[in-house]
Amino acid sequence: MTAELEGLKVAFLVAPEGFEQVEFTSPWQAVENAGGSPVLVSTTRGKAQAFKHLDRGDSFPVDAVVDEVTADDFDALVLPGGVANPDFLRTNSQAVSFAKSFFDRGKPVAVICHGPWTLVEAGVLSGRRITSWPSLATDIRNAGADWRDEEVVVDSDGPNTLISSRKPDDLPAFDTALVRHFATAA
């Protein structure tokens, strides 16, 4: 274990069901391995159900409910993908406000795959560089962002650092980038 994120608390925002398991567990482990404290935040108490593409995966205990925490409680935010996850989150005003507040406070955000849909809804992508699962490219461009088809895109030009990746195959590079940039921003 390294200590790059020692003392940092990182929120992982997911819907109660439908987030891509590996896009949650891999960054979670990277944060833990770097000495940080990951916290699972969702819209309801209990357990959150992950998926392995279209099949049910494991369930994970929710640590905090989105309407009971703020960005001030955390140092950074991770938004895992999965199609259903951000589709649900973007219809929940508290989840959208929670994600937006990290941008308002200049805190780093890491997002992968379909996760940027929540950021599109939050209205925080205008003028930013970002990548995602390719099917989101039009939505992201319509939100005013510069979409790129790259393994990892790090945009530090806005009020905060935004780290993004396209898919599970990109996780090694995504995890490395989010640890490096979360440590730098803190």
CATH number at residue 110: 3.40.50.880
DSSP state, 95? Answer: H
Please report whether residue 109 resides in a domain. yes
The token pair that represents 28 in the structure block: 């979670």
Please report whether residue 74 resides in a domain. yes
Please report whether residue 27 resides in a domain. yes
For the chain, how many structural domains are there in total?
1
The pLDDT assigned to 178 comes to 97
Please report whether residue 4 resides in a domain. no
Amino acid at 151: E
Please report whether residue 56 resides in a domain. yes
The answer to whether the CB of 52 falls within 8 A of the CB of 25 is: no
DSSP state, 45? Answer: S
Active-site annotation holds for 72: no
Give the integer Cα–Cα distance in Å for 30 and 1: 10
Please report whether residue 177 resides in a domain. yes
Q: What is the pLDDT of residues 25-75, one digit of tens each?
A: 999 999 999 999 999 999 999 999 999 989 999 999 999 999 999 999 999
Single pTM value for the model: 0.97
The pLDDT assigned to 88 comes to 97
Q: What is the pLDDT of residues 95-154, one digit of tens each?
A: 999 999 999 999 999 999 999 999 999 999 999 999 999 999 999 999 999 999 999 999
The pLDDT assigned to 3 comes to 87
Residue by residue, DSSP assigns 109-135 as: EEEETTTHHHHHHHT--TT-EE---GG
The Cβ-side half-sphere exposure at 162, using a 13 Å CA radius, reads 26
Q: What are residue 48's phi and psi, to 5 degrees?
A: -110, 135
Active-site entry in 95, 99, 113, 153: 113
The pLDDT assigned to 1 comes to 63
The pLDDT assigned to 28 comes to 98
Please report whether residue 44 resides in a domain. yes
The token pair that represents 92 in the structure block: 């929940």
- Which residues, other chains included, contact 55 with Cβ-Cβ below 8 Å and sequence gap of 6+? none
Please report whether residue 2 resides in a domain. no
The pLDDT assigned to 158 comes to 84
| Strands ordered across the beta sheet of 109-112 | 64-65, 37-42, 9-13, 76-79, 109-112, 162-165, 152-155
Domain range spanning residue 127? 9-185
